[in-house]
Structure 1
């Protein structure tokens, strides 16, 4: 595939219509655009990144097959989120009947050692404390960029801000967070 996909700047509605007509590349752009946020969402629901990848992949396959069911192409993201929610809930329900935690007791690897887990949690707590100190617009821009993978333009559209303002807010947020997190380097 080319490094630059001419469809990458297209709006969701345009990509959905093209994908519904069988354009695989258009659907690929949609999956790349929304996949990171959907993985985070599924991981939060399931408590597992391993399962979340499966749920997201299954959900995007379902979305591909059922694109013609989507009445409002511009609402692709909420529609896929609903599919992921249903899949994740199905996974959670199926765990109740099949998972026997007492039967499985694998040894923890070094990455999962108690010391490493505590350190990671403390570091995460420090990040959240630092984020809480940011002004609201900076925090929202940073979260959309760093956790959801939004572009500057998408952040601007979501928050009703010019792209230049988004760039400035992100620069200030990053500078502040670097200072706050210096002890964790």
Structure 2
């Protein structure tokens, strides 16, 4: 009785293997990485940008840059934090290029049909309050908080991405959380 041959699936491959193959020009391996981390890149870009209008463009620019620069990535196992660093820089570049006014159309509030108008109003109010509270934080505190709470990065990953010690990350997160709690008191 012979065993069925094992078929290797790119979907099951770890980041190091995918990054290596993509760096060698394997578009299928890069597509797997893009599918694997695309939702996280979108969520992180949305949090930094504060709206949905530019998210797709920023994620696309991130993936184009990643495809171009992937051969220079020395350790494929850090591809997730590397992609997050790229999307962070691309998002911040977009913010810097913006005009100093907000367009009413930039506000994108989720409106699930199954929720009551009261629940929708409350969720919208909370989202606006958190966004406003985040906007009052220094940029390093904002980035640390978003990477930890939205991107679910470890302290070490955040430290590596921001180029600071993990102890500084802990301090920034502690201050960010304390400042957010203070800012959010009125919302309660």
Deviations 1:131-176 (A, max 9, x none): xxxxxxxxxxxxxxxx87x9xxxxxxxxxxxxxxxxxxxxxxxxxx
Q: What's 1:122 paired with?
A: 122
Give the TM-score taking structure 1 as reference length.
0.53
Closer, same or farther in 2 for the Cα pair 1:71/1:121, shift >3 Å? Answer: farther
1:23-102 equivalent positions in 2, closer than 5 A: 23-96=26-99
Q: State the 1:6 CA deviation.
A: 1.8
Q: In the aligned structure 2, how far is the partner of 1:117 from the partner of 1:45?
A: 27
- Does residue 24 of structure 2 align to residue 21 of structure 1? yes
Deviations 1:1-31 (A, max 9, x none): xxxx920000000000000111000000000
1:4-15 equivalent positions in 2, closer than 5 A: 6-15=9-18
Q: State the 1:87 CA deviation.
A: 0.5
Q: What's 1:165 paired with?
A: none
Q: State the 1:125 CA deviation.
A: 7.7
Q: What's 2:131 paired with?
A: none
Q: What's the C-alpha RMSD, in Å, of the aligned pairs?
A: 3.2
Q: State the 1:70 CA deviation.
A: 0.8
Closer, same or farther in 2 for the Cα pair 1:123/1:14, shift >3 Å? Answer: same
Closer, same or farther in 2 for the Cα pair 1:41/1:74, shift >3 Å? Answer: same
Q: What's 2:175 paired with?
A: none
Where do 4+ consecutive residues of structure 1 move more than 3 Å?
116-119, 123-126
Q: Which has the higher contact order (CA 8 A, sep 6+)?
A: 2
SS of 1:14's equivalent in the other structure is helix
Q: In the aligned structure 2, how far is the partner of 1:118 from the partner of 1:92?
A: 32
Whichever structure has more helix as a proportion of its residues is 1
Aligned length: 115
SS of 2:53's equivalent in the other structure is helix
Closer, same or farther in 2 for the Cα pair 1:74/1:117, shift >3 Å? Answer: farther
